[in-house]
């Protein structure tokens, strides 16, 4: 009762004070100070509802802005809406904030002066405004710095989050450091939520407004009436999407605030209330990364919780969000074979894993289980409606979904972990110690991460988590490239290769350069493909070797690796890694099942990345000249790899000149090449476009077994379906979402433009396929 009375007095004081303040009385003049412990501890806005000053954090203090709570309800409290240097350690109670005589806003703590605002010129005064904006003014009363320009996790009524700006959640309601989620106002007009610990990729997004594929200046705006909307700067701030209703009846009196909460949800609140008016999604488990590695999220009694998957324990006991690690020792994978005596399978129902599996195929439940058990790399397999998705540890983005009728198999070992003192899980340690490249990659990736989220890196805990994710990603990326293998080419003798192939007995196929044979090296331990070159231009030994070295220098996960070669007399043989799953042509045209849409998209992107590497990322650009499904091979994990690259030069020493001998394959050859005009990297783009259409539609470019004559040539038919808005026909109404289908087809149609100038670069192709750039409507390819 008494405190309610005090609160009432306070409210009365502030509201009456506000009424009597003149325009300048709340101005903070130079040489003003506030202190963490002894008053004054804050600078207030004229109404007294906002304060700028010291906030308790842990055992110390942080600088921030908060909404002062006068309601005195048990469940409400001061609400922090902004913090400065949120990832710095808290300062002790001896700290002061000062607007110095020289016009700088700084904090003085034990260890010296910390800048709060980076300003281009000296400030003349400052002000905590009633909007919640803290502003520094210059000599000519112009705002030179505003806290609204540097939002942390909240925007207030009247505030905008401009394009290319991001909100980062806080760790918890009492820890203001950068937390686990981010909300990006992307420059393409899409507002997207991602886990914060990794560089954002489309596949990691867990919520989006879907307002992408636009061009212009976009922003998120919370208006004074509590309406959240996406707007466009041009065209008089046109609203492109309203996220919620508004509450105009309370306009003027109520403070609205939209916050990316520590649980990853984006919510709208009013005043100091902790009950939300609106939230982006209702199921907390939707936030990817809500639970740590190898655990899944489930909601019980409206409360989300995380549980370790079978065979794992919490990394830090008691910390359920930190993730889990194996409670058994996993043997090393040698040649993909698993030591079956130590594994058995346990199952869990209704789990959903939203991370991309490394393998996905149609099969029966029993086969799925067996496939995981037999595959050393498999740690868990998710089986749902005849689709088997195999995953490796660490598992991410798991949740329990009662709508789902899925079974997840987990491989469990019985061998105990000997040394529990390690803080990083053993499999990750193994990667680090076997690969020098990992260390090269970490600084590289870290640099790019720094540009993404400087702030997030500042705390060590976050950093450790992040490097773990990076190592994990690298583990995935390099799974098949053989981390420990030396990167130099081996010179083989003819005799050795003849023995390895049992006298060139088993022919795998015939390419434009000669036949390919299956071989066995190291006493049968290593399968290889040996290519016997024929029809070479007359060329000296030295040129051949330098060519081999150039090819040997190419290392990319989507290129078939050249392991070595042989040059003896007139014999020229190349030794490649063996691709156990045949060619893309077999997969698309010959197998009884067409791979599912996700798998096809993944293959298309992989192939594009391989060509991009040849064109732009290796030492000297390589034109492949013969991109076709027969030259795209699939390894044991169904990863697509391009073969036969770099050999065109052996036939045609100067690639940039006109090619007189048409080497490319009919159906895939760009028009300019057929016309004997100079060729460029764009011939590969054309061929890729045709291959992309074949991947999308799972049929050959030229197919005579079709019902109607206009469907015989795929490239022409695809454009007419595109123009008529009937893309579903291309995929036999397989139930593919319209947007991704349209994106893929548009990219293909741009690639097969007869004018090479109109075709995009491979870089552009990859960006478009991955959804990073907008795609304009392609014209008719043959126009
Ligand atoms: C806040 O969280 C970060 C990251 O989890 C941690 O490093 C820091 O110690 C926490 N601060 C306080 C005061 O608890
Ligand atoms: C809320 O803010 C007011 C004004 O700065 C302050 O006096 C009060 O102690 C704060 N309350 C809490 C619980 O921190
Ligand atoms: C509130 O929403 C209605 C309809 O959505 C709109 O007409 C009105 O202008 C909005 N009010 C404010 C203050 O934005
Ligand atoms: C928010 O607080 C103000 C001032 O205390 C009050 O007038 C207003 O009604 C409150 N808004 C709501 C929705 O309760
Ligand atoms: C969440 O639930 C509320 C009330 O049940 C409903 O009005 C709202 O549309 C739901 N929001 C979403 C994003 O599904
Ligand atoms: C690992 O945990 C599972 C439960 O998830 C338990 O059944 C199993 O016995 C544990 N194994 C070891 C080696 O501790
Ligand atoms: C769930 O799947 C099982 C077999 O995997 C099947 O027997 C059952 O009918 C399915 N239930 C529903 C509701 O689809
Ligand atoms: C783990 O660490 C503790 C002390 O930190 C040590 O006593 C123990 O021997 C260690 N255990 C092993 C298996 O190394």
Helix axes 762-769, 682-697, angle to 10 degrees: 30
Ligand 2 contact, 78 CB (< 6 A):
yes
What is the pLDDT, as a whole number, of residue 9? 39
Comparing CA positions, the residue from 163, 155, 164 lying closest to residue 224 is: 155
Atom of ligand 5 nearest to the CA of 281: 13
CA of 364 relative to ligand 7 center, distance in Å:
13
The closest-lying atom of ligand 3 relative to the alpha carbon of residue 223 is 14
User: Which of the listed residues 327, 408, 426 should we mutate to test ligand 6's pocket, taking the one with most ligand atoms within 8 A of CB?
Assistant: 327
223 Cβ closer than 6 Å to some ligand 3 atom:
yes
Ligand 2 and 68: CB distance under 6 A: yes
Does the Cβ of 782 fall within 6 Å of ligand 3? Answer: no
Q: Is 65 in the pocket of ligand 2 (CB under 6 A)?
A: no
Contact 47 CB / ligand 4 (< 6 Å): no
pLDDT tens readout for residues 323-368: 898 888 777 665 545 555 567 788 888 999 988 777 766 678 998 8
Q: Which residues are annotated as a binding site for ATP?
A: 531
Which of the ligands is closest to the CA of residue 43? Answer: 2
Instruction: Convert 513-561 into a string of H (helix), E (strand) and C (coil).
Output: CEEEEEEEECCCCEEEEEEECCCCCCCCHHHHHHHHHHHHCCCCCCECC
The answer, yes or no, to whether any atom of ligand 3 lies below 6 A from the CB of 231, is no
For residue 282, report the distance from its CA to the centre of ligand 5, in Å.
6
Ligand 4 in reach of 270 Cβ (< 6 A): yes
Q: Whose CA is nearest to atom 14 of ligand 1?
A: 58
Strand order in the sheet with 359-362: 343-349, 407-413, 380-384, 387-391, 359-362
Burial class from Cβ neighbours inside 10 Å (0-12, 13-18, 19+) for residue 320 reads middle
Q: 247 alpha carbon to ligand 3 midpoint, in Å?
A: 8
**Which of 296, 311, 409, 420 for a ligand 6 pocket mutation test, highest count of atoms within 8 Å of Cβ?**
311
Rounded CA gap, 168 and 539, in Å? Answer: 60
Residue 120 to residues 27, 104, 123, 370: CA-CA distances in angstroms?
A: 20, 10, 9, 65
CA distance 719 to 753: 11
Question: What pLDDT is stored for residue 664 in this prediction?
Answer: 61
Ligand located closest to 423 CA: 8
Q: Which atom in ligand 1 lies closest to the alpha carbon of residue 175?
A: 1
Pocket test for ligand 1, best of 56, 176, 319, 459 (most atoms within 8 A of CB): 459
**Which position among 188, 204, 626, 684 bears the catalytic label?**
626
Q: What is the pLDDT of residue 25?
A: 58
Residue 254 beta carbon below 6 angstroms from any ligand 4 atom: yes
The per-residue pLDDT for range 258-281, each reduced to its tens digit, is: 999 999 999 999 999 889 999 999
CA nearest to 559, candidates 481, 471, 620: 481
Distance (Å) from CA 157 to ligand 4 centroid: 13
Q: How far is Cα of residue 581 from the mean position of the Cα atoms in its chain?
A: 28
Residues in contact with ligand 1 (CB, 6 Å cut-off): 57-58, 90, 171, 175, 177, 459, 461
Stretches where the chain sits below pLDDT 70 are: 1-25, 75-76, 199, 201, 213-215, 234-237, 332-342, 360-362, 415-488, 511-512, 535-543, 648-665, 676, 783
pLDDT at 663: 55
Paired with 520 in beta bridges are 527
72 touches ligand 2 (CB under 6 Å)? no
| Cα 384 to ligand 7 centroid, rounded to whole Å | 9
pLDDT at 24: 53
Q: Which two tokens stand for residue 515?
A: 């036949």
Going along the chain from its start, the domains and CATH numbers come out as 23-150 (2.90.10.10), 295-413 (3.50.4.10), 582-783 (1.10.510.10)
Look at residue 783 in the predicted model and tell me its pLDDT.
67
Give the nearest ligand 5 atom to 282 CA: 1
CA distance 169 to 181: 5
CA distances from 447 to 102, 414, 450 (A): 35, 40, 5
pLDDT tens column, 625-647: 889 999 999 988 889 999 988 77
Quickly count: other Cβ atoms within 10 Å of residue 73's Cβ: 10
673: tokens are 């090449």
* φ and ψ of 169, to 5 deg: -65, 165
The pTM is what? Answer: 0.59
pLDDT number for residue 679: 76
Mutate which of 412, 419, 420 for ligand 6 pocket (most atoms within 8 A of beta carbon): 412
Residue set of the binding site: 531
The model's pLDDT over 594-606, given as tens digits with 9 standing for 90+, comes to 888 999 999 999 9
626 is a catalytic site residue: yes
pLDDT of residue 509: 81
The pLDDT value recorded for residue 668 is: 85
Confirm or reject: Cβ of 278 under 6 Å from ligand 5: no
Q: What pLDDT is attached to residue 385?
A: 84
- Cα(278) to ligand 3 centroid in Å equals 16
Tokens for 746?
């548009």
Q: Ligand 1, closest atom to CA 176?
A: 1
Question: For ligand 3, is residue 248 a contact (CB within 6 Å)?
Answer: yes
Of 513, 519, 522, which is closest to residue 498 (Cα–Cα)? 519
- Write down the mean pLDDT value for the chain: 80
The number of the ligand 3 atom at minimal distance from the alpha carbon of 227 is 14
Sign of CA dihedral 386, 392, 398, 400: positive
Which ligand 4 atom sits nearest the alpha carbon of residue 11? 5
Distance, CA of 526 to chain centre: 34
Name which residue sits closest to atom 11 of ligand 6, judged by CA. Answer: 327
**Residue 286, CA distances (Å) to 44, 304, 503, 560, 615 in order:** 38, 10, 58, 38, 39
Q: From ligand 4's centre to the CA of 273, what distance in Å?
A: 10
322 vs 46, 89, 288, 464, 609, CA distance in Å? Answer: 43, 21, 14, 12, 34
CA of 165 to the centre of ligand 2 (A): 30
Contact 748, 689 (CB under 8 A): yes
Atom nearest to 310 CA in ligand 6? 5
Task: Tell me what pLDDT residue 261 has.
Answer: 97
Neighbours of 464 (CB within 10 A): 11
What pLDDT shows up at residue 541? 66
Residue closest to 134 by CA, chosen among 84, 68, 60 = 84
- Residue whose CA lies nearest to ligand 6 atom number 14: 327
């Amino acid at each position: 009762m008494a405190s309610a009375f005090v609160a009432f007095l306070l409210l009365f004081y502030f509201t009456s004070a506000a009424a009597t303040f003149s325009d300048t009385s709340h101005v903070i003049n130079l040489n003003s100070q506030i202190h963490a412990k002894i008053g004054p501890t804050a600078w207030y806005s004229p109404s007294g509802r906002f304060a700028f000053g010291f906030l308790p954090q842990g055992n110390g203090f942080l600088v921030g802005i908060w909404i002062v709570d006068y309601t005195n309800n048990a469940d409400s409290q001061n609400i922090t809406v902004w913090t400065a240097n949120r990832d710095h350690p808290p300062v002790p109670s001896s700290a002061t904030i000062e607007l110095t005589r020289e016009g700088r806003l700084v904090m003085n703590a034990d260890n010296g002066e910390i800048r709060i605002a980076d300003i281009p010129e000296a400030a003349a005064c400052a002000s905590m405004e009633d909007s919640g904006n803290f502003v520094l003014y210059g000599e000519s009363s112009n705002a030179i710095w505003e806290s609204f320009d540097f939002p942390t996790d909240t925007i207030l009524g009247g505030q905008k989050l401009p394009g290319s700006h991001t909100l980062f959640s806080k760790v918890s309601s009492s820890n203001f450091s950068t937390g686990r989620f981010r909300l990006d106002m992307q420059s393409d007009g899409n507002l997207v939520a991602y886990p914060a610990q990794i560089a954002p990729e489309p596949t990691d997004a867990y919520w989006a407004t879907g307002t992408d594929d636009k061009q212009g200046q976009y922003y998120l705006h919370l208006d004074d009436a509590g309406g959240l909307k996406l707007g466009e700067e041009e065209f008089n701030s046109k609203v492109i999407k309203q996220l919620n209703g508004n509450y105009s009846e309370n306009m003027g009196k109520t403070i609205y605030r939209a916050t990316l909460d520590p649980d990853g949800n984006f919510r709208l609140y009013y005043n100091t209330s902790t009950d939300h008016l609106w939230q982006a999604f209702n199921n907390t488990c939707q936030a990817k990364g809500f639970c740590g590695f190898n655990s899944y999220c489930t909601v019980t009694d409206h409360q989300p919780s995380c549980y370790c998957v079978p065979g794992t324990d919490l990394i830090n006991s008691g910390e359920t969000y930190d993730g889990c690690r194996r409670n058994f020792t996993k043997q090393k994978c040698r040649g993909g074979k698993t030591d079956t005596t130590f594994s058995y399978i346990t199952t869990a129902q209704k789990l959903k894993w939203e991370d991309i599996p490394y393998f996905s195929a149609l099969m029966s439940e029993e086969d799925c289980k067996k496939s995981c058990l037999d595959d050393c790399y498999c740690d868990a397999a998710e089986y749902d409606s005849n689709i088997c998705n195999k995953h490796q540890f660490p598992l991410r983005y798991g949740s329990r979904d009662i709508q789902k009728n899925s079974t997840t198999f987990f491989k469990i070992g019985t061998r105990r972990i000997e040394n529990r003192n390690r803080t990083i899980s053993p499999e990750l340690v193994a990667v680090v110690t076997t690969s020098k490249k990992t260390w090269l990659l970490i600084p590289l990736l870290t640099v790019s991460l720094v540009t993404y989220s400087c702030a997030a890196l500042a705390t060590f805990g976050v950093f450790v988590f992040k490097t773990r994710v990076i190592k994990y990603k690298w583990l995935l990326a390099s799974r098949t490239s053989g981390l420990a293998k030396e990167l130099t080419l081996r010179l083989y003798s003819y005799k050795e290769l003849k023995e390895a192939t049992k006298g060139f007995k088993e022919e795998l196929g015939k390419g434009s350069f000669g036949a390919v044979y299956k071989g066995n090296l190291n006493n049968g331990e290593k399968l290889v493909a040996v290519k016997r070159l024929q029809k070479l231009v007359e060329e000296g030994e030295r040129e051949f070797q330098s060519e081999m070295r150039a090819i040997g220098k190419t290392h990319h996960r989507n290129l078939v690796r050249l392991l070595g070669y042989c040059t003896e007399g007139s014999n020229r043989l190349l030794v490649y890694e063996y691709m156990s799953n045949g060619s893309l042509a077999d997969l698309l045209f010959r197998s009884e099942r067409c791979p599912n849409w996700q798998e096809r998209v993944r293959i298309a992107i992989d192939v594009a990345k391989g060509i991009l590497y040849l064109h732009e990322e290796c030492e000297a650009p390589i034109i492949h000249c013969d991109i076709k499904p027969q030259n795209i091979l699939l390894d044991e994990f169904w990863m697509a790899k391009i073969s036969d690259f770099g050999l065109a030069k052996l036939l045609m020493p100067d690639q940039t000149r006109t090619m007189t001998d048409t080497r490319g394959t009919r159906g895939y050859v760009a028009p300019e090449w057929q016309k004997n005009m100079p060729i460029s990297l764009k011939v590969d783009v054309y061929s890729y476009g045709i291959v992309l259409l074949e991947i999308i539609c799972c049929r050959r470019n030229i197919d005579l077994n079709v019902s109607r004559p206009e469907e015989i040539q795929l490239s022409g038919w695809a454009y007419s379906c595109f123009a008529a808005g009937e893309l579903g026909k291309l995929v036999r109404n397989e139930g593919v979402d319209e947007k991704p289908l349209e994106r893929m087809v548009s990219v293909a149609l741009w690639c097969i433009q007869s004018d090479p100038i109109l075709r995009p670069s491979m870089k552009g192709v990859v960006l478009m396929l991955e959804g990073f750039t907008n795609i304009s409507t392609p014209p008719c390819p043959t126009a």
